């Protein structure tokens, strides 16, 4: 199985901060990487797919990038609505696998 | 508007069975693969499996941890997705989400989930 190692597991940040979350795949997954946002008691919401394509309706402060098997989700200026848990997920091979999640909290 | 509505969860004894349903609307259901993903209380996301569309012969994929006990199917005439879980274990306790697959690869829309609790 492809392991997705996500870091950090949690972070504290302030409104307006630039936030970066990283996911490393154990094997080459090309660009088959998606990012999700999940708030407590809610279903996950798709943010980015294909490593860097923004899902329709997602604010442009979110962006994704790839360098080899390392993937990054960046929030350019953290907003109150962004405090949530973020997950990466690979869809290159079965079984699909998720990172362990990053909880973004208010500093 | 794309909508996915799960149902069928509840409290079940270990060893029991359950059928979860996911009713889809607002998109061309027959054109999409569909997935199930679960989330144990306080834990991360865990992919369960996939059913492809008619053009791909409704073939399925499963996580190794559920293969043999879980069965995913669909009824395109009812725009519905199903998950049958047999021989339920306490570790199957989770919220079960259905999700639409975009382009055969990416989960884009998710339902609100249905909670399954396995306990005696």
Tens digit of pLDDT for each residue in A35-89? 999 999 999 999 999 999 999 999 999 999 999 999 999 999 999 999 999 999 9
Between the alpha carbon of residue A17 and those of residues A47, A102, A104, B4, the distances in Å are 19, 16, 12, 34
Q: Which residues of A touch B44 (CB under 8 A)?
A: 87, 98-101
pLDDT at residue B6, rounded to an integer:
98
Instruction: Report which of A2, A1, A11 is spatially closest to residue A101, judged by C-alpha positions.
Output: A11
| CB proximity B63 to A under 8 Å | yes
Model pLDDT for residues B47-79, shown as the tens digit of each residue: 999 999 999 999 999 999 999 999 999 999 999
pLDDT at residue A106, rounded to an integer:
87
Q: How confident is the model at residue B100 (pLDDT cuts 50, 70, 90)?
A: very high
How many Å apart are CA A95 and CA A90, to the nearest integer?
Answer: 9
Question: To the nearest whole angstrom, how far is the Cα of A54 from the nearest Cα of chain B?
Answer: 11
The strand ranges marked E within chain B are: 3-7, 10-12, 18-25, 34-39, 45-51, 60-62, 70-75, 80-85, 94-102, 106-110, 114-118
Model pLDDT for residues B23-34, shown as the tens digit of each residue: 999 999 999 999
Instruction: Report which of B35, B14, B12, B21 is spatially closest to residue B81, judged by C-alpha positions.
Output: B21
A residues 13..32 contacting B (CB < 8 A): 32
Instruction: Report which of A33, A27, A102 is spatially closest to residue A69, judged by C-alpha positions.
Output: A27
| CB proximity B73 to A under 8 Å | no
pLDDT at residue A104, rounded to an integer:
98
| CB proximity A100 to B under 8 Å | yes
Q: Which residues of A touch B107 (CB under 8 A)?
A: 34, 36, 44, 46, 89, 91
Question: To the nearest whole angstrom, how far is the Cα of B110 from the nearest Cα of chain A?
Answer: 6
Q: Which of B36, B40, B106, B108 to mutate to test the interface with A (most CBs of A within 10 A)?
A: B106
pLDDT at residue B81, rounded to an integer:
98
Is the CA virtual torsion B68, B40, B34, A32 positive or negative? negative
Model pLDDT for residues B4-16, shown as the tens digit of each residue: 999 999 999 999 9
User: Is A89 in contact with B110 (Cβ distance < 8 A)?
Assistant: no
pLDDT at residue A107, rounded to an integer:
87
How many Å apart are CA B3 and CA A99, to the nearest integer?
Answer: 26
């Amino acid at each position: 199985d492809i392991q997705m190692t996500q870091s950090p597991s949690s972070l504290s940040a302030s409104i307006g901060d630039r936030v970066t979350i990283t996911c490393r795949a154990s094997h080459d997954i090309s660009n088959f990487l998606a990012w999700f946002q999940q708030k407590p008691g809610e279903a996950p919401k798709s943010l980015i797919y294909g490593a860097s394509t923004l899902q329709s309706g997602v604010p442009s402060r979110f962006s994704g990038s790839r360098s080899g098997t390392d993937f990054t989700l960046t929030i350019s200026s953290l907003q109150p609505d962004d405090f949530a848990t973020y997950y990466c997920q690979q869809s290159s091979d079965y079984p699909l696998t998720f990172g362990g999640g990053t909880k973004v909290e208010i500093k | 508007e794309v909508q996915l509505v799960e149902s069928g969860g509840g409290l079940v004894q270990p060893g029991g069975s359950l059928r979860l349903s996911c009713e889809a609307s607002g998109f061309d259901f027959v054109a999409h693969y569909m997935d199930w993903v679960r989330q144990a209380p306080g834990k991360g996301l865990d992919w369960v499996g996939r059913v492809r569309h008619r053009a791909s012969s409704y073939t399925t994929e499963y996580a190794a941890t559920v293969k043999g006990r879980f069965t995913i199917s669909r009824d395109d005439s009812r725009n519905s997705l199903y998950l049958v879980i047999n021989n339920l274990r306490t570790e199957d306790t989770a919220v079960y989400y259905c999700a639409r697959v975009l382009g055969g690869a990416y989960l884009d829309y998710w339902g609100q989930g249905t909670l399954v609790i396995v306990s005696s």
